[in-house]
Structure 1
Amino acid sequence: MPTGVAIRDPRQQLFEAAERVLLREGPSALSSRAVTTEADCAKGVLHRHFPDFDAFLAELVLDRIARIDARAATLQAAAGRGAVVDNLADALTDMLGPVAVAVVGLVISRDALRARLREARPRGVPLLGDAAAVLAAYLATERDLDRLSPDTDVDALAPTLIGAAHLLLADRTGAPPDPGALRRVITGVTGAWLR
């Protein structure tokens, strides 16, 4: 990109470029040069908006977490309507889409990034822990609506669902699982508590 040309929303443009690199080449290929090349902008643009590359990566993860937090309202609105398994499958498919799974790989592979994120999220894997909290809140609502048994431990069930879904969806290079696989896993995990 020529010098002096204004960039529309440079932060978002850089995030989108990083996501494309992550999806195409994985976490090990992510560098400031790879991001700015993908975004078709000068390397200085990234450093004008972020103190360093780890700060950029932390903001990328937090942006993804904000999307999960936004999904919480949609999931809560579904409580009491439709099948619980279908609501969970839709939410998990959305929250653990290809970009989110790639971002989890990034968080796991970079110690400095994890350390920076620990300042705000001291436990668990950022993004996965946030998704589990969204599911736990939804499951608690469904329990309160008597669609799950009263003894359902939503704080144990939510991360179990996240882990199982992540195992199904985490292969960045392989074929996605068949559409019914996630619903079968959810049914297996939640079956004892569904009413």
Structure 2
Amino acid sequence: KDMKKSRRRRRSHIKGKKIDGRHEQYTLSLGMMLGIRCCVGKSEQLQGSILGTDNFKLNFTDFMQVDKYVFPPQGNSKGPNITPPHQLAHTFKFKAYAPKIFSKIRTMFGVEAAHFMLSICGNYNFIEFISNAKSGQFFFYSHDGRYMIKTQTETESKFLRRIMPHYYAYLVKNPNTTLTHFYGMFRVKMNHLRRNVHFVIMKSVFNTDKRIDKVWD
């Protein structure tokens, strides 16, 4: 009974329109999900092999690493980053920034790979978060409200990449911090948008059993 109350309370904090096939951001959300599924899946394979070992040490190049993916509709079986066929009508490109670092951060905060991928890119739709922010960026919830996906300007993306070594070091030293938990940073390039869309995945502060009386933006 208490668990049902908890789930209802969490869902009550999630307000927004489901991004289905009629939504203007539907194609973008599908591209995001496909890209995340591939690159996070690859990172977690490494996590199970070398990243999870005590002997593995991160170095500066891991913070600068960028994994690139190409998603043609028929799939891509060549190169190190294989991609599956998909239902979109056109090829799109995807980048994952510092994938090893974010994999370590997710592990640090007890985010299991299977649950993370099910929340973000399972057979569900994102939920649009209605914001009055003047930045013009888009906000999405995962279907269960555990995570928030926020688009970024290129300047914001570069800034977060630049401070990533300091951010990671701070999290390691302060595991109980209330600082935003970033769990992934990406870029998707889709022809119909005619621009690169940078975005981050972060822990949602609305995923709580606590009563929320007021929200500021």
The TM-score range, normalised by the shorter chain, is: under 0.3
Q: Which has the higher helix share?
A: 1
TM-score, length-normalised on structure 1? 0.27
Larger Rg belongs to? 1
TM-score, length-normalised on structure 2? 0.25
Q: Which has the higher strand share?
A: 2
